[in-house]
Amino acid sequence: MYKKHILKIFYSFLLTLFLFSVMNYLIDPYGYQSRDDKFVKNLTMFNKPNVANARIHSDGYYYLIGSSRMARVNPIVIENITGKKTHNIKIDGATLSENRLLASKVKEQGNFFIYSFDVFSSNKSREKYSEINTRYKTYLKELESSIFFNKYFNSDITIRSIQHAIKSLRGENLNKQHLEQNSRYSDFRFNLSLNSSGVLNNLDKSNFSNFESYSSEEVVKLAKLGTKDDIFIILPKYESFYYLFSKYQDIENKYFSAISTLVNNTQAQVWSYYGLNNITQKENNFIDNGWHFKPQVSNIIFQEVFEPRVQIENERIGVLITKENLNDYLSFVSQDIGNIVIKDN
């Protein structure tokens, strides 16, 4: 009697394992095999070490690395422009150490990154927060495990697959989250950004509390990872933030110094949307009080990066920073920021 039941357990389990794995493989909600017909939320929004690891070990050419700004970049946009398979492995609120860890793993696989070199990711003091520390260790542990017993057999992917199937049956738009963000009304309030960003050092834990640069050795380590097909990009924020960085805690100078180290030590392209330009000057390009650009802006940015065009007069677009134009560019941007007039509402 017991032998019969043991066999039943064994075969039922094998069948269950097979059915769930096949379902998850076929639906592939996180787009490990293909980003087509996938919900943008699953492609961009989650910070999961196991998903990042599975993506790094899949067929990607480009990997999007960065903080929450990268959540606004649909990898399909890059795939459509470049024809190269792209995965998004961003971490919300990432530090430079976390991003560098991801970049090094991407390079270990012989692939390339598009790396968002953000101001607030360059604030080393955030690494002192225990939650950031714990997250780094979790990512490190996960990214160092290379065996995927459960790539298609875990509760998370199963739930996502079921959600994907239900949403598809209901006819939900694949781009729902990004469309919703694109349609959001921009209502920038300067005082809010001044008081909540931490530039005033008025908060215990925030993006810019106790702004402290990474050492140049640490930035060089990152820069050296870049080859000529890799891209570092400084993604845009609403212009008023650049005003804050120039006024408080010497953030602008500290950040510009990191940019200089990066540019002087890397073979990768470094694109900048810092300062005043066609994107950063339009309030309607941003949500979350100017902190995040709208997803539709990413199309413009990456079109410019991958298909550079001749700049027409009075047009301010992204700039490819090279060793040659570095100093001129930074001093121009710095002067330009001095002209920002704050309209406080």
Pick from 126, 178, 237, 294: which binds other proteins (CB under 8 A)?
A: 126
Residue 131 contacts other proteins per CB under 8 A: yes
User: Which whole-number Å values give the CA distances from 101 to 4, 53, 222, 253, 267, in the listed order?
Assistant: 50, 11, 9, 25, 18
Site size toward other proteins, by CB under 8 A: 43
Q: Which stretch binds other proteins (CB under 8 A): 3-11, 78-86, 228-236, 302-310?
A: 3-11
CB of 158 to other proteins, least distance (A): 6
Residue 163 contacts other proteins per CB under 8 A: no
Residue 136 contacts other proteins per CB under 8 A: no
Pick from 138, 202, 284, 325: which binds other proteins (CB under 8 A)?
A: 138
Question: Which amino acid would we find at residue 116?
Answer: S
For the chain, counts of helices (H) and of strands (E)? 14, 8
Compute φ and ψ for 8, nearest 5 degrees: -60, -45
Query: In the Cβ-directed half-sphere of 110, how many Cα atoms lie within 13 Å?
Result: 2
Q: Quick one: DSSP state of residue 311?
A: P
Q: How far apart are CA 199 and CA 248, in angstroms?
A: 6
Residue span 91-110 as binding mask against other proteins, x where in contact by CB under 8 A, dash where not: xxx-----------------
Residue 205 contacts other proteins per CB under 8 A: yes
Per the CB < 8 A criterion, the answer to whether 225 and 107 are in contact is: yes
Residue 2 contacts other proteins per CB under 8 A: yes
Residue numbers 54-73 binding other proteins by CB under 8 A: 68
Burial 269-299 (b: 16+ CB within 10 A, else e): bbbbbbbbbbbbeeeebbbbbbbbbbbebbe
Pick from 57, 82, 84, 129: which binds other proteins (CB under 8 A)?
A: 129
Q: How far apart are CA 278 and CA 297, in angstroms?
A: 11
Pick from 1, 169, 312, 341: which binds other proteins (CB under 8 A)?
A: 1
DSSP-based three-state secondary structure for 154: coil
Residue 137 contacts other proteins per CB under 8 A: no
H helices present in the chain, as ranges: 2-27, 40-44, 49-56, 75-82, 96-108, 130-143, 155-170, 176-182, 190-196, 216-225, 239-247, 251-265, 295-306, 326-337
Residue 35 or 90 with smaller CB distance to other proteins: 90
Residue 212 contacts other proteins per CB under 8 A: no
Pick from 42, 44, 50, 177: which binds other proteins (CB under 8 A)?
A: 50
Residue 342 contacts other proteins per CB under 8 A: no
Q: Interface residues with other proteins (CB under 8 A)? A: 1-3, 5-6, 8-9, 12-13, 16-17, 20, 46-51, 68, 91-93, 120, 126, 129-132, 134-135, 138, 142, 149-150, 153-156, 158, 204-207
